[in-house]
Amino acid sequence: MKIGTDGVLLGAWCSLKESTKKILDVGSGTGVISLMLAQRFNNATIDSVELENNAHKQSVENFERSVWADRLFCFHSTFQDFANELKEDGQTYDLIISNPPFYTDNVKNNNRARNKARSTSFLSFVELISGVSKILSNQGEFTTIIPFKEEVKFIEISKQNKLFLNKICRVKGNNNSDIKRSLLTFSFYKKKLDENNLIIETSRHLYTDEYINLTKNFYIKM
């Protein structure tokens, strides 16, 4: 799996609190989001769950080669099974983060692994949110990134699972483009909505100050 802008945005944007001790990354891919959180926050253990076999192996390898190897672990499982098992054991996480599958249309290519990672047929928004609601701690937060066109539906499904939107950032590629992504944070508590926008580029490969300040700690050249 390639490292994409969505994952970098999510790992850099999500809030971390001093009380955050256990983090779960749903759909680890390369493991980049988990690694970013390990870099940002040295007081938490970070679990991840990944279904696709090669992606799971890649996450494990990247974790083992990192300086945070003792705080990172990747489970090879569907998130549905993982959440149900932890629910039975009464285990919870203080932060759950996910760059979830988002292709609801029949958009396919010849890369089966990439199709699996990107298709909601393997993990629908309903299944993701339902699973999160089972294993998120009472004071915990759920942070994700989704296509802007799915925002209203995703917020409504979350509300049906007693997860309320606390923070949102809508992302545009440049000043003249349409809104492409929505970064969202939910909790079990209704709060005053923290709402803002982010533009990534002023022109091709020329980044805005806001994007640079958000992500500069994770790029070698920024």
Nearest-angstrom CA–CA distance, 46 and 57: 17
The structure tokens listed for 193 are: 């909505």
pLDDT digits (tens, 9 = 90+) for 88-111: 999 999 999 999 987 554 444 555
In this predicted structure, what is the pLDDT of residue 115? 47
pLDDT digits (tens, 9 = 90+) for 172-212: 999 999 999 999 999 999 999 999 999 999 998 899 999 99
In this predicted structure, what is the pLDDT of residue 114? 47
pLDDT digits (tens, 9 = 90+) for 136-167: 999 999 999 999 999 999 999 999 999 999 99
In this predicted structure, what is the pLDDT of residue 9? 97
In this predicted structure, what is the pLDDT of residue 120? 46
**Residue 156's CB: how many other CB atoms inside 10 A?**
9
Amino acid letter, residue 2: K
The structure tokens listed for 221 are: 């050249």
Model pTM score: 0.91
In this predicted structure, what is the pLDDT of residue 103? 53
Burial pattern 40-55, b for ≥16 Cβ within 10 A else e, equals ebeebebbbbbbbeeb
Nearest-angstrom CA–CA distance, 19 and 104: 36
In this predicted structure, what is the pLDDT of residue 110? 56
- Given a cut of 70, is residue 75 above it in pLDDT? yes
Mean pLDDT rounded to a whole number for the chain: 91
Alpha helices in 66-102 (DSSP H): 79-89
pLDDT band at 113 (very low <50, low <70, confident <90, very high): very low
In this predicted structure, what is the pLDDT of residue 99? 96
The structure tokens listed for 67 are: 């300086």
43 close to 92: Cβ distance less than 8 angstroms:
no
In this predicted structure, what is the pLDDT of residue 3? 80
Tell me the CATH architecture of domain 5-217: 3-Layer(aba) Sandwich (3.40)
Task: Find, among 34, 32, 35, the residue nearest to 5 by Cα.
Answer: 32
